[in-house]
Amino acid sequence: MALVRNAVWNLGGQLVPLAAAVAVVPILLQVMGTEGFGLVAIIWTLIGYFSLFDFGLGRALTKFVSAELGRRPETLPDIIVTGMALLAAAGLVMASIIWMLVPWLVGSVLKPKISDPAEIVVAFRIAALTIPLVVTNVGLRAILEGFMRFDLTNRIRIPFGLYTIIVPAVVAYSGFGLIEIVVAIACGVLAAMLGYALLLKGAASVVRNRGGAVRWSLSRRLVGFGGWISVSNFVAPLIFHLDRFVISAALTVAAMSYYVVPYEAITKTLVISSAIAGSMFPVFARAPDRDGASHMSTMVTGTRAVIALMFPILLTVVCFRFELLNLWVGRDVAINGSGPLLLLSIGVFFNAIAYMPYTLAQANGRADWVAKVQLVQLPIYPVILWLSVLQWGLEGAAGVWMARAFFEMAAFLLLAGKIAQSDSVLNSIALYGMFGAAILSIGLVLEEVPLLPRVFALIAIVSLISWLLWWRLFSAGERSWIFQRWQRIASQLLKGRHYKNDIER
């Protein structure tokens, strides 16, 4: 039950900012133009990427705090102090490096055609100064998650996520530029850090009255566990977001905006998978090698839930991709972005599934396997991506991104199968590949169908597939568990309604 509750908290913490982004993106596009919005999108990406300058120490803190909480709580103060000291040092070093690289990034990679390069350099350097704050936030949130207090972490994540999305639009609409937007975001990062610190002080009663110290032996253990995770943390987002930088360099920043709008929208649905997988990590980390079969069963159940939630959503998006983009951000983006959106949706489906074995492998101490799968892509993916963008434009970038997502899904599932000594993963890979092919086929077939018949066709297809998922994908025990949860929710709602009626009478 705790796993479900934590997953729901994680999901809420990511869905609320997503809902705000739906309203904010059109405003930013209108006020700042395509190039200006592209620069804000890159700032969002960079600040998100800065959280990965924790060098894997965030996950290491979650694992060590979770593992020692029930065994040796007296060691927790030293673990927390040592981990936070390492994070502070890493943040300061990386802030200095990024500060020096900003002029090259602006002049040689972004090459803006309308915006003032000097203004962009100042804005990006202000963003670099947030790195120590961002990595501190990672550590504080990781400690709270080690205590399984996902409710507290999301009390900060939800308002901070809303702030980061809404404030740039407010600042831009008020007539200010990129520098002021970045300063506003930096203030939000600082406020989030203070909030996490206060919540940790109140929640960690087991360490509240005990002083901690930096321990060299603990430093080596934390860095050792986080080493391969840090490699993965750097490589994965680089691969995940490389397409927007390649498009900017090979085409234009404005063309990148036609890609990044549907990209940002569809990849936000990955919050469903990341919420479920994030709640699993502390559970897997407490006993990584003791019950591989049980962990594999948990992973499979999580994957089934992800498919049941993601497949209808993605199918709806691909069937009405032009209409949705046109309604949301206008005809210009819809014309240029609906093609990439089709391919990106399939890639997102594969990525959503990949979260599960990825988390299982890392929590079981096989982060080196995960990192090596991602490192293999580094010398190959950028070349294929560059050539595809030059040849096929935005659709080429989306197609390569989709193929990469399938490769990672297959590789991570094979790793999970090896950990759990399961031979069924090949069948799973084929099944998930068929789901992706179904999304592509249905999207292509229905795009030429008139709107009203397309609506009825989609309802029929989703109903059929939902029925198959319910009776074929979920076991009898899982169906019973889901039904009981819905009964409990409905019962609580009915009690609340009767109580309200009694008061009114």
Q: What separation in angstroms does the CA of 298 have from each of 268, 295, 304, 390, 423?
A: 24, 5, 10, 43, 17
Per-residue CA distances from 160 to 17, 41, 73, 85, 355 (Å): 8, 17, 31, 24, 24
SS3 296: helix
DSSP assignment of 350-404 equals HHHHHHHHHHHHHHTT-HHHHHHHHHHHTTTHHHHHHHHHHHHTHHHHHHHHHHH
Tokens standing for 74?
């007296």
Residue 166 CB contacts under 8 Å (≥ 6 apart), including other chains: 20, 24
Of 10, 54, 317, nearest in space to 148 by CA: 10
d(CA 140, CA 198): 10
Q: Does residue 245 contact residue 325 with C-beta atoms inside 8 Å?
A: no
Q: Is 112 left (phi over 0), alpha (psi -120 to 50) or beta?
A: beta
Buried b (16+ CB within 10 A) or exposed e, 131-169: bbbbbbbbbbbbbbbbbbbbbbbbbbbbbbbbbbbbbbb
Q: Which residue, among 247, 212, 203, has the nearest Cα to 75 in the 3D structure?
A: 212
pLDDT tens per residue, range 262-289:
888 898 888 788 877 777 777 776 655 5
Cα–Cα nearest to 78, from 180, 216, 273: 216
Give pLDDT tens digits along the chain (505 positions): 445 555 555 555 556 666 666 667 777 777 767 667 777 777 777 777 777 778 888 888 887 887 777 677 777 888 888 888 899 898 899 889 988 888 887 777 666 666 677 878 888 888 888 889 989 988 888 888 877 777 777 778 778 777 877 777 788 777 777 788 888 888 888 988 898 888 887 766 655 556 677 788 788 888 877 888 878 877 887 887 788 888 888 887 778 888 988 888 898 888 788 877 777 777 776 655 555 567 777 788 778 888 888 888 999 999 999 998 888 888 888 888 889 999 999 999 999 999 888 888 887 778 888 888 989 998 899 999 999 999 998 999 999 999 999 999 999 999 888 887 777 788 889 989 998 999 999 888 888 888 888 889 888 888 887 787 777 666 676 667 566 655 665 565 455 444 444 444 4
Distance, CA of 301 to CA of 482 (rounded, Å): 11
- The tokens for 15 are 């869905």
* CB of 146 closer than 8 Å to CB of 66: yes
Rounded to the nearest 5°, which phi and psi values hold at 123?
Answer: -60, -45
pTM: predicted TM-score of the whole model, two decimal places:
0.70
> How high is the mean pLDDT of the chain?
79
